[in-house]
Every structure is written in structure tokens, then in C-alpha cells.
Chain A
Amino acid sequence: MPGLTQRQRMSIPRQGMPEQDPQVRSANFDEVALGFTEELAKREADRCIQCARPHCVEGCPVGVLIPEFLSALRDGDMLGAVRAMKVNNSLAAVCGRVCPQEVQCEQTCVLARKGEPVAIGRLERYVGDYELARRTCPLQRAPATGKQVAVVGSGPAGLACAVDVARQGHRVVLFESLHSAGGVLVYGIPEFRLPKSVVRGEIDYAAECLGIEVRVDHVIGRILTTQELIEEYDAVFLGTGAGLPSFLRIPGINLNGVMSANEFLTRVNLMKAYRFPEYDTPVRVGRRVAVVGAGNVAMDAARCSLRLQRLRSLSASESGDEVHVVYRRSRVEVPARAEEVHHAEQEGVIFDFLTSPVEILGDASLGVAGMRCIRMVLGEPDSSGRRRPVPVQGSEFEIDVDTVIFALGTSPNPLVFLGSPGLERTKWGTVVADEQTGRTTVRGVWAGGDVVTGAATVVSAMGAGRRAAADIVGYLQDVPETW
């Protein structure tokens, strides 16, 4: 509504997101957050006071034109909102769902100082969904330049890079190792947080508009090496993410029923094991699941476990099913988004804080019979700035579990570096690349996202992809003599 005073705007309460009831949703894989209605979106957009110096944009890793798209929403100008959004973000339906807005744009929103910030993420999703359904404003492509760019990895970094490079008229080939494009958006993040139809829709739409060629089933390092890509393409971007799982080094990790969150989530999300036997890939969760770790991936694994248990108990009534998140620090240090923790607790996930596994116990058939843990207390802050957990002598105890899922962070997959000498990497296996430009130590090769930073967020990877794209575009315009 255009006619409101600032005071009136600031008196409108932040609009809540309609959600599936926790009882209902914990037995299905449908999306939890249902999305704003037109009315809710308008009312929420009306809360924006259009600051002269908007801080929200500074908080956004891809620099979405937030005041512009909110102003258009306020005026009921959907086309304008979409257009403003697409200047800096062509994956709004994804970002609106999975960005940690509370530590980005919404944290720096001026309203957050005295009350609650504008729900920028929810409005971003509203605009993204509107555009996915209607395709009012296709991305435009500059005349063909005759240059071609290989983008390795079709996750957030690769997608963002591919879109920006293709917009400038360069031919882009996007390589994906799995059978479906999207990277972590497809194999990692569950359907109930990010429907796969949304990911597919965003990728298909962008690829069609910009003529991006998506080649799935291409494991770079095997079917083609990065070196071969360097020879064939004018520029190569590596956005292969951090896909390797970590396991604790404790006895029992190779028992049946112990798996990485990567395996568990890939079965559930990419392979749709929650619809077994309609889909062929099975997944097994027991009656009592322990998810070790407390990041967003741990929350996803815990909430998927819970749903699988409840789906099973719909047909055979079982009581005593439990899902525990086992974390060695306390609630304050939990790295997952507050909203994810809240959703998990609402649905019935149990949190065991200050608890660290020391051994997984096996039974005669080499399955999991339990897990021995030790209590922790928090000591002095460590290098990460968080208080270091210290074991309490003699406090060991057993918990009754039959399934253990490790969600302890991931590191870059070294396959992409096979047969490609010269690409410098750190001792953590991440690629050495310039933070601003994404340039690696090999001429013509850029990298960005988790393969450079280690596991981080979708939007920070997109930001890195976009910065590299900008540098690639500049480089291709006038290829410099030096690197």
C-alpha cells in the first residue's frame, strides 16, 4: 500500500509463514513451509520503510536488489518485483527457501534493531515461485561471442556462475557427475525443505533461456580431465563442492546401520528411497536413531529419519521410535539455523547435548547394538571461538540405538583433480583461489563455493560463483597476457 506512513508501516507485525502442522508433516515428505499468499506477501512488503541507505543489501552475498523488489511488491507490481529480483539472483525460489536470512539480509534490516526484520526470505520465495509458475521475465542473453566456458558441478556455485557467464553470450556447458543437476540442492537438502520440482524448474528455466547445455553423468577426473577441459574451453570454473563425508575415528564405525549423512540423504533425496518400493533404492532406519553432529545436515538427517519412522509406523503401529541428535557442545553452539532446530524439536527430535560418542557397539550379526558416549563440559574457547568441549572423566554411558548417522561436515572430492597438475590445494583439500575473483593457480581455471571454502551455505557458494563469473567475463573480453 503506497499511502502508509512510516509509523503505520512499522506497526504492522511480521507475517508468519503458513506451515504444515508438526504432527501431520512429520509423517510426510511434503514441504513444511507452505508459502505466503498474495495478501500475506503484500502486508509483509508494506513493512519495508525503504531506507535511504539500505543495510539489507549489504547482508546479501549476491547483492539482491532488496528495496527495489520490495517496493514493487508493495505497489502490487509483480512484473517489477521479478525484474528487480533477477538482476542479481536467478534462483530466488531456491534462495528464498534455504538461505540463512537471519544472519544475512534480515540481520542487517533496520527494523531488526527495535523489533522484527522484514521477512525478506519469505518474500523472495514468493517472487521466485510466482516467476517459476508464470515465466513472465525470461533471462536475456547477449549475442553469441563464440567463446565457450566449462562449468564443473551444477550445484549453487556452478549454477550461479553458468547463468552469469551465459547471459553475456558465451556458450556454457555445465557438467554434473550425478544423473540430475543441482548438486547439494538435489542430493542433500530434503524435499520437505526444498522440493525437487522447484530446483528442476529453476535450472530448466535458466538453461532454456540461456542455452546452457547440461551434461549429467559426467564425472570430471574420469570421463574427462580438468586438463582436457582447459584445452577445449576458453575458461573452466570448478564448483564441485565438498562432497566427501567424515566419520569419527572410533571403534564400530563400519558396522551395519552406521552411515554418513551423505549416504542417508542421497538415498532419501536423490534416489527417493522414502517412496521405496515404488522407487528401487531402499533406505533403512531403525527404531532408535542417533545423528551425530548438529549442523543443518544433521537436522536434515534427523528430520528425514523421523519421517521414515512415522511412515513405517502408519502401517505397523510401533511405539518407542526415537531420533536423537548427539552433539558434544551445548545448545548455544549449535551450528544449524535456529529455524531448523525449532522445526526438528517441534517434530519430536530429541537433543542430547554435551554428549560425545566413544564407541559403537556391535551385535553378533555385525549390526549396531548401542553407542557408548561420554559426557562433556565446556572449557576455554578454541580456535573457532567456541568453547572447547572437554570429556568428564568416568562419565561414560550407553545409549540404546540401532542406527547411527554421522553428520560431521564434508570436504572437497579430489576426483576432479585427477590428471590435472598445477592446481594448488590446501592441506584440507580445498582449492587455492583468489577470494574476489576465484582465480586458481592455473591459468584459465576458476573455482568457487565449498570446493574453496569447505562446507558452507548455498548462497555463499552462489556469491562465489557470481564473482568468478564476473572475472571470467572480463577475462574473455580481452584475454590478458598475465594471469
Chain B
Amino acid sequence: MYEILRKETLSDAVKLMVVSAPAVARKAQPGQFVIVRTDEYGERIPLTIADFDAEAGTITIILQEAGKSTLQMGRMQQGEAFATFTGPLGHPTEIACFGTVVCVGGGVGIAPVYPIARALRDAGNAVISIIGARNRELLFWEDRMRDVSDELIVCTDDGSYGRKSLVTGPLKEILEQRRHEIARIWAIGPAIMMKFVSLTTEPYGVATIVSLNTIMIDGTGMCGGCRVVLEEGAQFVCVDGPEFDGHKVDWDILLARQRFYQEEERAAIRRWEHICRLQHAAAEGG
């Protein structure tokens, strides 16, 4: 069992957890992910590593409550434990001194972009970061990102904080003005954001790396449920990724595959909310 040592509520729907997993923490590197399962009944969910501390033996994960499983995880408290916490999985980010790089984090994708930006900065890169969310409420780690960036641009879709723009807005401006400075771009966030970041950067010919989070079960290459279609053919996100060249990803297939279990997800959420209401009523009544 893997104990939650600390829990932080970053926003109503975004929770940070520091989890005790010493053997995973010893090996974790930026860009890798873990597979987490709440209990005997739980799904195996891939979550990108937001931070790690080999000495303390901890892994930090950040989750956005979206489906039944993440809703349930979000309700778990400090002292409770996950049944499964497997990792570190996937290839680590290729860290080197490239020159000037841009790190784009959207929504909960800010979490996995943070250790990558930090490692890139430590490797001597000039780091320009763009973080964005739907609104102020969903934005987090501005301070942390500022610490590891030479330049930080914050935006929200609704303009409730920072600049009113999608992340692609400032990204396009940077490319217009400083195309020849930018060596590489990392983008992590919702698939639709990564698709549009890739479309934005493609005309400028700047290498754009995205980190995909797909349907997955084992995380070791066994099920093939996470396959993604690239120009050169299908690859598995769990063992060939999770990072890929954003210009080569077939985003339409990716987006369609993510929707495959939508109906079941909705049914599971309805059932979960019903159970929560019953528990709540029982607690009130008792």
C-alpha cells in the first residue's frame, strides 16, 4: 500500500498528493508516469509524475477530478493509501542544453511540465514557460513555474487571471518574433490543446514534444489499448512514449479513442454520485 503523506487542494477539482513510494522515487525522472489504483475495485489510471524526491521516497501527483476514479481519488485523505502505485513508467524526457526552449502547460498539464522545465533549466537552457487554464480557479503552481523559468506567461481562457487567451496565442507571438531562438517546445495538457499547439508550431518548423495520456491498463506494453497513430505507424504510449513528436501524431484518431468509453464513464459517475449522496444522507441521519 502506498500512503498519502500530504494532500493539497489546488482548486475545487484539482488535488495534489505526495505519496510514499520509495522504490519508485529512487528511479523517477521527468516525463515519466505512474499507474495508480485506489482499491480492489479500482481502475488502473496513468498519472504523470509532477515531482519526485528520492531522499524522502515520495512521488507527487496532481489529479483533476473528471471521471469516477479521479473523483474518488480526490476524496482520499492524508493517511489513506493507494492499492497500486506502479512506476516509474515510460521513457524519461530527453534533457540536454538545446538553447532556448518553450514549456507549455495547460490545466492539470502544468504539473508534469514543471519537472521538465526545471530539468531543462538546470541543463542550461533559457526556459520560456506558458501556463494556462480555463479560469483562475484551475490555475496552480504559478510560483513554482516562475522559479524555473526565465520568462513566464500566464493566461486563462476567460480572462479571470493573467492574459485572456488560449496558450496558443502567446506561443504564436513568440514564434513570430523569435523563431530562430527557439530550439524546442514541450506541450502538456488536454489532447485538444496539444493538437492546437502542434498545429501552431508546425509552420515554424520547431520541434514540438507532447506527452500523451491515453486509455491504458497495464502500462507495460501488454494491452495495446494506448496505441497512438504516428506518421510511421502505431506506437504504444506506455512503452514508446509518453512523449512524441506532436507534428506526427494523428490527433483525430487520438481524440476519438479517448472518447471510446465516454458512455461508461458517465454511468460510473452517476452511480458514484448516487453512492456519495446515500453516504451523506446516512451520515446526516446518524
Contacts and interface: CB of A to CB of B under 8 A. Distances in A.
A167 B83 CA distance: 30
Contact of A262 (B42, B84, B223): B223
Interface residues of B, number: 43
A66 B21 CA distance: 47
Contacts of B260: 256-257, 284
A271 B256 contact: no
Interface string B34-48: 000100011110000
A245 B257 contact: no
Contacts of B250: 254
B165 interface: no
Contact of B224 (A222, A259, A366): A259
A244 B240 CA distance: 13
A263 B224 contact: yes
A243 B220 contact: yes
B62 to A, nearest CB: 20
A415 B239 contact: yes
A279 B89 contact: no
Given A219-B220, A254-B229, A271-B217, A366 B86 contact: no
8 contacts: A179-B37, A223-B88, A254-B250, A262-B224, A276-B268, A277-B268, A282-B268, A284-B260
Question: Secondary structure at chain A's binding surface: helix, strand, loop or mixed?
Answer: loop
B224 A415 contact: no
Contacts of A218: 23, 86
Interface string A245-258: 10100000111110
B224 A177 contact: no
A217 B223 contact: no
Interface in B38-66: 41-44
B223 A245 contact: yes
A224 B23 contact: yes
A281 B222 CA distance: 16
Interface of B: 23-24, 27, 37, 41-44, 68-69, 83-89, 217-225, 227, 229, 234, 239, 250, 252-253, 256-257, 259-261, 264-265, 267-268, 271
A223 B23 CA distance: 7
Nearest to B229: A254
Q: How large is the interface on A (under 10, 10 to 19, 20 to 34, 35 or more residues)?
A: 35 or more
Given A247-B234, A254-B253, A177 B84 contact: no
A284 B252 CA distance: 21
A243 B42 contact: no
Contacts of A282: 261, 264-265, 268
A365 B222 contact: no
Nearest to B255: A366
B217 A266 contact: yes
Q: Which 4 A-B pairs have the closest CB atoms?
A: A282-B264, A263-B223, A366-B256, A280-B43
Contact of A260 (B68, B85, B223, B256): B223
A282 to B, nearest CB: 4
A415 B257 CA distance: 25
Given A259-B224, A277-B268, A366 B261 contact: no
A255 B234 CA distance: 11
Contacts of A177: 86, 218, 220
A244 B223 CA distance: 7
Nearest to A410: B222
Given A253-B234, A256-B260, 5 more contacts: A217-B85, A223-B27, A223-B87, A244-B221, A415-B220
A266 B87 CA distance: 19
A460 to B, nearest CB: 20
B252 A266 contact: no
Contacts of B256: 256, 365-367
Contact of A259 (B41, B225, B264): B225
A267 interface: yes
A243 B88 contact: no
Contact of B222 (A222, A262, A276): A262
B232 to A, nearest CB: 13
Contacts of A260: 223-225
A178 interface: yes
Nearest to B252: A366
Contacts of B44: 179, 271, 281
Contacts of B68: 277, 280
B86 A276 contact: no
Interface in A164-218: 177-179, 187, 216-218
Contacts of A104: none
A478 interface: no
A39 interface: no
Contacts of A219: 86-87, 89, 219-220
Contacts of B267: 277
B88 A222 contact: yes
A219 B32 CA distance: 14
A221 B170 CA distance: 40
